[in-house]
Amino acid sequence: MRTRTSGADGQVSRRRLLAGAAGGIGAGALALAGCSGGIGSSGADLRFFMQKQEVIGYFGDLLTQFESAHPGLSVVHDSTTAIAPQFVREDPADVGCFNTNLELARYIERGVLRDLSDLPSAGRIRDSIGELATQYADYPGRTSVLPYSLAAAGVIYNRTIFSEHDLPVPETWDEFVDVCTELQDAGVTPIYATDRDTWTLWQGLFDYSVGSLVDPAAFFAKMTEIGEDVGPDSEVSFEKDFAVPMERAKTISSFFNPDHATRSYADGNLAFGKGEAAMYLQGPWALSQIALIDDSLDIGTFALPVTDDPADRQARVNVDLGLWIPEQASDVDGARELVEFLMQPEIINAYNRDNLTYATTTGAPPQTDERLEGLQTYIDEAAFYQGAGTFVPTSIPLGNYLQSAIRSGDFTTMLRQLDADWRRVSVRDATV
């Protein structure tokens, strides 16, 4: 039976500050020990919820493969954009495939997602990547999410421009500034920025500047612990711990295209694809858009160096997709078999290869796309961090603050405001 897809009808729920946030297969091969009933024994369709709109079709094909191995079972492919309405109605999908973030953390910490630690595939998750899935929230004694794909982001650069100006890939902060200066002096835009879309600021400029100087998970775990007492004299604070990273961010922004304030993400992909800048602070999601402009553009990616010790460099990552099963799943056995199907090496490895992401399991092959090879070492060595901006609740307008700071050059006021907002959110959540 063919999979059916339901349309988007939900609104993305607001994130909140979280306590504990740190952040052609044969049916026989899919059988699981300990299942009390047969797959589809509930008599209902198995619902699969997919958040990532650009891979709806890809997973649709996988679900059709799964159905072909289980005659009589239909999988409904739910492509709504939010999970909150499902849980509010007490009718969540049987299997979820979702970006691991503060929104999903709400359900992890409440214990409404099943423990998956006994699944065979859970034992193949790399420890360093499994830990990423618990940084926003964790539920004691459970493996609530199985990381499916890891996205790594860095500085996308035009190899041809670097070669024409005899420039090396910088390994230290001073080298990076020197490269930007040489490009600027030669009349080349060093970095194309798109401030009109605020997410590009916190994902790129903010996260890249912070990550190799501050451990985001540890910082936000302590910030959550301190809560409403965060301030100039607290053990950690934005104003104290992010001061040096924001000095770096201020310098980086001086090398942006002059019209950065009015440029959007689409403008950035177009401009970089046309060779109008040497570097672009974006992740692998931009590569397919750039390729639409010039699929022969010679580009690579490197981790932004923000110190003068090359060993400090790390890549900004996120668990792009994670699999989970809610406690209220209508067909637990079927859900577990679907998860095991998707986690099979030939399935999960092909997905990460085809979608420019990195493997989360042991023994998996590396990402071979030449545009991303510069970050593979960081994945292999677990020299990575989840972006600081992903730990900030959406009720704090980080992107807007960054816009103002870039235009005024005053990042100190922004950091003080972030501390004040953190106190406000902490007080609010303490009363919920």
**Whether this model's pTM surpasses 0.95:** no
Q: Are residues 136 and 218 in the same domain?
A: no
Q: Are residues 95 and 205 in the same domain?
A: no
Q: Are residues 365 and 406 in the same domain?
A: no
Residue 3's pLDDT is 42
Residue 380 lies in a domain: no
For the segment 10-40, what is each residue's pLDDT rounded down to a tens digit? 333 323 333 333 333 333 333 333 333 344 4
Sign of dihedral through CA atoms 62, 365, 309, 128? Answer: positive
Q: Is the pLDDT of residue 395 over 70?
A: yes
Rg (CA), the chain: 22
Residue 382 lies in a domain: no
Q: Are residues 338 and 404 in the same domain?
A: no
Higher pLDDT, 86 or 190: 190
Residue 341 lies in a domain: yes
48: containing domain? 4-151+319-375
Q: Are residues 35 and 141 in the same domain?
A: yes
Query: What does the alpha-carbon distance between residue 334 and residue 144 come to, in Å, rounded to a whole number?
Result: 17
What number is the average pLDDT over the span 318-332? Answer: 95
DSSP character string of 42-81: TSSPEEEEE--GGGHHHHHHHHHHHHHTSTT--EEEE--S
Q: Are residues 176 and 229 in the same domain?
A: yes
Helices (H), 194-319: 198-200, 207-211, 216-226, 238-241, 243-253, 265-273, 287-293
Q: Are residues 233 and 265 in the same domain?
A: yes
Cβ contacts of 130 within 8 Å, gap of 6 or more:
143, 147
Q: Are residues 131 and 223 in the same domain?
A: no
The rounded percent of the chain whose pLDDT value lies above 70 is 89
DSSP character string of 399-430: HHHHHHHHHH--HHHHHHHHHHHHHHHHHHHH
Report the CATH number at residue 343.
Answer: 3.40.190.10
Residue 431's pLDDT is 63
Residue 126 lies in a domain: yes
Total tally of structural domains belonging to the chain: 2
Q: Are residues 120 and 207 in the same domain?
A: no
Q: Are residues 223 and 340 in the same domain?
A: no
Helices (H), 254-357: 265-273, 287-293, 332-343, 345-354
